Amino acid sequence: MPHLTIEYSANLPHYPEAETLTALNAALCAHPQVQDEADLKTRFIVADSFEIGIAPANRAFVHAQLRLLAGRTPEAKKELSDLIAAVLRERTPRPQGVMVQLSVEIVDMDRDSYAKERL
């Protein structure tokens, strides 16, 4: 059930999406909170139209959002967040002269109304 979405600004070209997807899924599926590896669905989104702050600076971002069924402990959520940050820290391009912000957010999904099946 975990849904992971990685969004990055379009001024980070040549983002190694394929290898980052593989690295993220490997890292998360090794964590005990992900019980069935097939449940982890990870995707990339590129933000083509964006602006960061108000200063005339050269800035970029990469933001991860992991959505999990509610019930994880704060410790488990922090561990998952740190795992994701570690993978993105290593793989995110750092173009010269660009300040790159990395952030990771964990979201609880409502368990009672969640529907899930394999077609």
Burial class (CB in 10 A: 0-12, 13-18, 19+), 23: middle
By CB under 8 A, the residues from 72 to 111 that bind its own copies are 74, 77-78, 80-82, 84-85, 89, 92, 94, 99-110
Interatomic CA distance for residues 94 and 108, integer angstroms: 31
Rounded to a whole number of angstroms, the minimum distance from the CB of residue 79 to its own copies is 9
Q: Which residues contact 64 (CB under 8 A, 6 or more apart)?
A: 4, 5, 6, 7, 84, 85, 88, 103, 104, 105
For its own copies, how many residues bind (rule: CB under 8 A)?
A: 67
Binding site for its own copies (CB under 8 A): 1, 3, 7, 9, 17-18, 21-22, 24-26, 29, 36-45, 47-55, 57, 59, 61, 63, 67, 74, 77-78, 80-82, 84-85, 89, 92, 94, 99-110, 112-119
